[in-house]
Structure 1
């Protein structure tokens, strides 16, 4: 049964890399299919962000302080004293993530990045964590490369194509649209365990206590959007292409199907093992000391019944 509130007001929320990456598929479907309204919240717009702390700031500035942001950014914000809580999981696989180089690049693998300019999206973002972890897994240190925060994936592709940077973060969707310009240097799944918590849903503890029905409604609408996408991946691709204003519907269909195969999205339930893998990046940079005491960061009471238990 859906949660309902007295009145569904038109509101905005935040989803990191909305319009560029596929964290937003469940939300696009939920908007198109009326699942937000069904659950008492009329989400009419979604704010985007280039990752990291920007997504957290946009969440706090949105019509509703609710967003799906990188796990790393959420942990950093909470550690910095922001009264945020993690209320559910988003994307918990990095199977489609990669670093690209220019089509005519002579670089062959991650070890060739020594002394090169290597781009990620933003400090504290998923891509920031992944490049640090990939370097460590390959026996390299961050000091051996010149790491550059370069903004969204479009900016990174442009920088790689122009030669301004030697390698840049991307995913399979962006790569598929620019095969004439770039090629993969390495896939994250070939260097690291792909089961990592990329994104989580957050809100402020104050807002959640004051508006529990709205927070529960948002979480449940996303879950219903995901369930529909898993059952109808081609239609979900169509809906997401429309929401992202991208005419390449066939490409979106293909990508959604691939992400369904790799179990890319969580239905909201959290997985501490995959969360700890992502936090390794923060530990490498010294931004987190020791283990994260997740119960101090997490409140699963806003998840639907049956999803409260973490794995």
Structure 2
């Protein structure tokens, strides 16, 4: 377990050293005004799941353009990959779950959450993520995941933490769950082909897998906390300090995008087709998350406690308020 955590630390430190002090590729420099009418090009590292639909919808509606931001989205497998991208200046902002940000913090990396990105629906039957198994699988509940292999998109992160918590709450032994790393979009095939016994997947992978006969045995986000903050948009502490105006404009644009997506769920669904290949029937059945603008600090503190129990932070203790407060 310690090797994996230190591996992330090494990767992050390498990126920071590569960026260097005063490097022309750092986030603060990259986000300066371009020559076209004062418009700022902003790159955001995202995970191509339904949670980020408001960004694409806000871009379409002109919420970023109206604030002088030319928005560019670039995909990554998870928050653990996006954090180094923000630190190196590849992205000015990133989408990440709280656990990835707290792991980075305990390795001495200064990050600042800008605004909430997505929150669980609180529905323990059908949430925005679920642990799915084949239709004929003997696994019927969360506790029965013990002794089996479960796919997550990123190891030693929020996925295995909440799956363990769901197993624990159901009376199973979380230490007996074996996790393997598979990208979300490959999980339906991994279940169908017997590569894994179960997979914790987000949308649209969850609905795609269900359309192929898979069934859910637990919704671990909702089981962990019915008001759990799942992800936020964040930046480096340096950019937040050196370019507060950009951070303010980005936050305002995202806030308007979240509110619009919440009020227009059909348009949010349609926005998903701009960054994923998805069947029309699957699109209609997708479970959308909630998109409030405020983070739930208490729920993040719970994630911190669970992460400590799982050994995600090594010998350090995260300070959620310093990132999300």
Give the TM-score band, short-chain normalised: 0.7 to 0.9
Shift of residue 75, structure 1, vs aligned partner: 0.6
**In the alignment, is the contact (CA less than 8 A) between 1:56 and 1:74 conserved in 2?**
yes
1:136 aligned residue (168, 181, 188):
168
Q: 1:49 to 1:189 in 2, by over 3 A?
A: closer
**Structure 2 contact 114–232 (Cα < 8 Å) conserved:** yes
Post-superposition shift, 1:100?
Answer: 0.6
Q: Conserved in 2, the CA contact under 8 Å of 1:87 and 1:201?
A: yes
**1:210 corresponds to which residue?**
242
Deviates more, 1:136-145 or 1:99-108: 136-145
Shift of 1:142: 3.2
Deviation, 1:189, is 6.1
Tell me what 2:311 maps to: 286
Spell out structure 1 runs of 4+ moving beyond 6 A. none
| CA deviations over 1:129-166 (Å, ceiling 9, x no partner) | 2112112222333321212222x212222211110110
Unaligned runs of 5+ in 2: 1-32, 122-126
Equivalence map 1:11-160=2 (5 Å)? 11-15=42-46, 17-18=47-48, 21-43=49-71, 45-61=72-88, 63-93=90-120, 95-150=127-182, 152-160=183-191
C-alpha separation in 2, matches of 1:139 and 1:175 = 25
Mean alpha-carbon deviation: is it higher for 129-138 or for 55-64? 55-64
RMSD between aligned alpha carbons?
Answer: 2.4
5 Å-filtered alignment, 1:170-185, equals 170-171=201-202, 173-178=204-209, 179-185=211-217
1:68, CA displacement in angstroms? 1.4
Q: Distance in 2 between matches of 1:189 and 1:118?
A: 15
Are the aligned partners of 1:98 and 1:169 in contact in 2 as well (CA < 8 Å)?
yes
**Uncovered stretches (5+) of structure 1, i.e. residues with no partner:** 300-311
Alignment check: 8 A CA contact 2:167 2:173 kept: yes
* One of 269, 292, 307 as aligned partner of 1:266: 292
- The alpha-carbon distance between structure 1 residues 172 and 183, as it changes in their structure 2 partners (threshold 3 A), is farther
Query: 1-side partners of 2:89 and 2:207: how far apart?
Result: 32
Is contact 1:47–1:58 with CA below 8 Å preserved after alignment? Answer: no
Change over 3 Å in CA distance of 1:159–1:126 after alignment to 2: same
Counterpart contact for 2:156–2:312, Cα < 8 Å: no
Structure 2 partner of 1:198: 230
Question: Contact 2:45/2:82 (CA < 8 Å) preserved in 1?
Answer: yes
